[in-house]
Amino acid sequence: MPDLNPLSWWARLLALPNESRTKTIAMAFIVSGICALLVSSAAVLLAPMRDANLAAEREARLAAMLESMPGLADIVAQYGADSLETVVVDLETGEPTDIDPATFDIAAAAEVPETSSIIPGEADIAGLGRRADLAPIHILREDGELRLVILPISAVGYQSTIRAHLALEGDLNTVAGLSIIEQGETPGLGARIEEPAWQALWPGKELAGDDGEIRLSVVRGRATSAYEVDGITGATRTGNAITSAIHFWLGEYGFDDVLANLRQGAGLQ
């Protein structure tokens, strides 16, 4: 009669010589099974806290940017927080959609083929590979007049993907502010794009020249015109990434249709 008691199987397995094939395979499966269980339970149990941390971080940075912009806090206070509306727009058509912004995650959408498109090689100056078809933007109006538009931009930097919010004033050509949301650049060099002192250089810069071509860029050394922002010494590639993020996201594959619609005052009411 075969022995069906699992405990005695276990004892027999442990008693096998270490070099036997059965024990080698059994040990491999047992150790990897236990490790898989450990890793996946940690991931599942801690996921809500991690997501909450990420969401809180995003909101805190948006709030910090709104505060840093002159006069903006007053407007928000005057009209209530509702005056800042968030719309998910379709980047192809430039039209708003009725998707709830609270449930839309642009970074996650960019990774799924159904909700994103491949950026053609020569147009992919930001090195992103693919971008989401939809994007959430924030719009602030005062008496029906466009006061502020906040666009999410991103690019691959020196060693991380940099995500930022670019805020434009009502004329859609003057920068109201830039706020870095997420980056993992070299501490002390590229990571200094997070410093308030550097981000304070942005308000008032001009986006495009008279011909409509985007000219704003981060330069090496000191800025000499309204289309230039001081670079950070030792962080040329991080600065270049910010430049290409602006050029990409305001260009053909980014928000150009959205901005055109906003200029005409059509659609995005």
Partner 1 sequence: MKRLQHLYTPLIDNNPVTLQILGICSALAVTTSMTTALVMSLALIVVLVASSMIISAIRHHIPTSIRLILQITIIASLVIVADQVIQAFAFDISQRLSIFVGLIVTNCLVLGRAEAFAMRNPVGLSALDALGNGLGYGLVLLLIGFVRELFGAGTLFGQTVFPTIHDGGWFTPLNLMLLAPSAFFLLGLLIWAIRSVRPAQIEPADYEISIEPNRRAP
Contacts with partner 1, residue ranges (CB under 8 A):
14, 18-19, 23-24, 27-28, 31-32, 35-36, 38-39, 42-43, 46, 49-50, 53-54, 57, 160, 184, 186-189, 197, 233-234
**Shortest distance (Å) from residue 71 CB to partner 1:** 26
3-state secondary structure of 144: coil
Of 70 and 234, the one with the shorter C-beta distance to partner 1 is: 234
Strands (E), the chain: 84-90, 116-118, 130-132, 134-142, 145-156, 161-169, 175-182, 217-218, 228-229
Burial (Cβ within 10 Å: 0-12, 13-18, ≥19) of residue 90: middle
Tokens encoding 155: 């690019």
Neighbours of 107 (CB within 10 A): 15
**Shortest distance (Å) from residue 161 CB to partner 1:** 11
Phi/psi class of residue 213: alpha, beta or left (left: φ > 0; alpha: ψ in -120 to 50)?
beta
Of 53 and 225, the one with the shorter C-beta distance to partner 1 is: 53
**Shortest distance (Å) from residue 257 CB to partner 1:** 33
- In 3D space, the residue among 225, 231, 181, 226 whose CA is nearest the CA of residue 206 turns out to be 226
**Shortest distance (Å) from residue 50 CB to partner 1:** 5
Of 71 and 184, the one with the shorter C-beta distance to partner 1 is: 184
Of 24 and 264, the one with the shorter C-beta distance to partner 1 is: 24
Contact 161, 245 (CB under 8 A): no
**Shortest distance (Å) from residue 202 CB to partner 1:** 18
**Shortest distance (Å) from residue 4 CB to partner 1:** 23
Of 147 and 165, the one with the shorter C-beta distance to partner 1 is: 165
Of 60 and 266, the one with the shorter C-beta distance to partner 1 is: 60
Distance, CA of 115 to CA of 193 (rounded, Å): 30
